[in-house]
Structure 1
């Protein structure tokens, strides 16, 4: 409670900072203004900062004064979404078609709040806190870019932690558990090539649009008819384009979408079926299908001891009755997964009270959770840097 009270004294300042981030969102690998502001906020309280890690990433280091010890990483994502905000908030996005619709503005602010507190309490821990502000979480590979740029060689971490706000959970609750947390994600594009013609003469065409419609229907049978019902999998066609006017049968069409799974063998099985079905169905319409599938997210799997460390910290901050252990696995994806493939750690959800969902144009971050998230980060540093 004392930790919450201390961080809470800066709540007005922190809320204003979060709303500034919200008003000036930037897409993945374009977070130049954001990274500059983060650097400014860290440096003005004496924290050593490295910019440009993995493109636009920022890493700050806080050295504990109790001597050598463990190095604990804390990560927040920085990027916004290509969505037009639908709100009348005074701090709504000033950038057309760009919006912090996932709460990354709040995640950055919570980590900054934790940094302010930790910097003021360096006498209370050994080792160091590694503050990782990651670009391009929303499907553009920011975690992989930072790792490829030597993140963990340059800024060694014994463990690493991250959180996500949850507008579908009661305010002040924390959900965490060991094992699988969220799914892998592959993005696919299927290009259909046919032969166009005047719409008055459909018999002279190979209708790429018609073939694409059939392919889309076929793809949605894969999970229902090819995947074991006891396994978790999602396939969704999310974009379709064909043609440009009223009286021309299109010669080309494109389908795009996502595949989400928890197990590598199910992932491979679905990928194979997507290619076979797309090619064979298109061929049945006289067209040709070209399939491209990209590995975008790995499955996120929490390590057991770090997950228990989060649970202990949560109990001390929000109380045992507000901690959900072993929450249900979700089929969303999160590229913190790639960091957990290199360093032991855990990812947890912080309830911000029910409201419009993430990635919804009316989503709104609840500033009241800033002290809670920051206190969790601070508690993890104070507890985990003491470990042998």
Structure 2
């Protein structure tokens, strides 16, 4: 079974929605326009219920099938953009300065809307489909916000599925990893406080910038000398801020970054070693170093059997030869993991043309995958809630 004909017939409409969302990106918890469009579309499609303002800008749509089954399946898409200035050169490039859909969430939203339209017209399933449009996936806790707002108490589901695009130059190649599929993530902030001085007399200082720079290098020894060789982990310093003038040795410096891990004990080891290194530098250089960790993402754990269901739905659309269930774990993180901590499910990836990476100002999502992803979502509902098998 290729792309569902009804969805393929709506391809131009899906492309128009996608282009509009791409041209008008909104970052986390600011997706007012985006969520308004989603809610309006769901109502236009004839959804039984549309709920707005969940975790501020989240939307949930409820669609009941022809049958009277009690089972409920959730489908989730994220809606937020990134604080990036777009350089793609597209004729529908971002019109919002400093905002860009550089991770494909505009495509995720469009694909789920495509499935919503098709399923609302056909209702060829037993039970209930729950469409979750989530805000603020990019490190701002949108999934946790929806959960705190009672997502799964108000709209319970037996299973939940999500999907991400991958610019790997392999169009319509569907991939999933069973078990630990995406890394957990902690963000860290480190404040170094020394003693400032005139730059011409640095002997009078306790140079926070020198210590901060040394810490960046020392942190990299954790992976090479403390981590078990077979455990995957990442430690990246992504920010360092210090100083305000050419002739002043700065009194303070700030370091920030992220660690990624697939086991909680690996996270704990990295955090312990970072604290110990900072404590040692503080004593050695006679200054204060404060370390703060924020737990942002859980490890994303795909249920093995439900990963098989995602594979089967994808194979219906792209063919079994274009689907793999042994994709390697990915060190990127995804807050759909928080939903999978509560409800079993699976999260797969769909390849598309182009190889400019995600989170790059020149990233382009190939709109050819829109009906493909929409069809996979639709087949998940039809497969998991088949007519004539009401529970």
Same fold judged by TM-score > 0.5?
Answer: yes
Q: C-alpha offsets along residues 292-317 of structure 1, whole Å, 9 cap, x if unaligned?
A: 00000000010011101011112221
Question: What is the DSSP-based 3-state SS (H/G/I as helix, E as strand, rest coil) of the residue aligned with 2:231?
Answer: coil
Q: C-alpha offsets along residues 171-218 of structure 1, whole Å, 9 cap, x if unaligned?
A: 011001321111000000000000101101100011110110111111
CA distance in 2, matches of 1:181, 1:3: 26
CA distance in 1, matches of 2:20, 2:282: 49
Match of 1:177 in 2: 177
- Structure 1 ranges of 4+ moved more than 4 A: none
- Answer whether contact 1:174 1:323 (CA < 8 A) is retained: yes
- Answer whether contact 1:73 1:160 (CA < 8 A) is retained: yes
Normalization by structure 2: what TM-score?
0.97
Question: What is the DSSP-based 3-state SS (H/G/I as helix, E as strand, rest coil) of the residue aligned with 1:220?
Answer: helix
Match of 1:134 in 2: 134
- Answer whether contact 2:308 2:325 (CA < 8 A) is retained: no
- Answer whether contact 2:234 2:260 (CA < 8 A) is retained: yes
CA distance in 2, matches of 1:341, 1:41: 30
Task: Name which of structure 1's ranges 65-74 and 287-296 shifts more when overlaid on structure 2.
Answer: 65-74
CA distance in 2, matches of 1:119, 1:82: 34
- Answer whether contact 2:86 2:99 (CA < 8 A) is retained: yes
Q: C-alpha offsets along residues 108-127 of structure 1, whole Å, 9 cap, x if unaligned?
A: 000000000000111x2111
- Answer whether contact 1:69 1:385 (CA < 8 A) is retained: no
Gaps of 5+ in 1: none
CA distance in 2, matches of 1:354, 1:250: 44
**For residues 42 and 215 of structure 1, do their structure 2 counterparts lie closer, same or farther at Cα, with a shift above 3 Å needed?**
same
CA distance in 2, matches of 1:77, 1:314: 20
User: 1:69 Cα shift?
Assistant: 2.9
Match of 2:341 in 1: 341
Normalization by structure 1: what TM-score?
0.98
The reply on whether 1:70 has 2:88 as its aligned counterpart is: no
**For residues 292 and 207 of structure 1, do their structure 2 counterparts lie closer, same or farther at Cα, with a shift above 3 Å needed?**
same
Match of 1:382 in 2: 382
User: 1:384 Cα shift?
Assistant: 0.6
CA distance in 1, matches of 2:41, 2:282: 55
CA distance in 2, matches of 1:82, 1:2: 36
**For residues 236 and 2 of structure 1, do their structure 2 counterparts lie closer, same or farther at Cα, with a shift above 3 Å needed?**
closer
Question: What is the DSSP-based 3-state SS (H/G/I as helix, E as strand, rest coil) of the residue aligned with 1:255?
Answer: strand
Task: Name which of structure 1's ranges 351-360 and 129-138 shifts more when overlaid on structure 2.
Answer: 351-360
- Answer whether contact 2:178 2:304 (CA < 8 A) is retained: yes
User: 1:280 Cα shift?
Assistant: 1.2
Cα root mean square deviation, aligned: 1.1
Question: What is the DSSP-based 3-state SS (H/G/I as helix, E as strand, rest coil) of the residue aligned with 1:221?
Answer: helix
The reply on whether 1:235 has 2:198 as its aligned counterpart is: no
- Answer whether contact 2:2 2:318 (CA < 8 A) is retained: no
Q: C-alpha offsets along residues 94-133 of structure 1, whole Å, 9 cap, x if unaligned?
A: 11111000000000000000000000111x2111110000
Please give the residue correspondences for 1:1-388 in structure 2 after superposition, counting only pairs within 5 Å. Answer: 1=1, 3-47=3-47, 48-122=49-123, 124-386=124-386
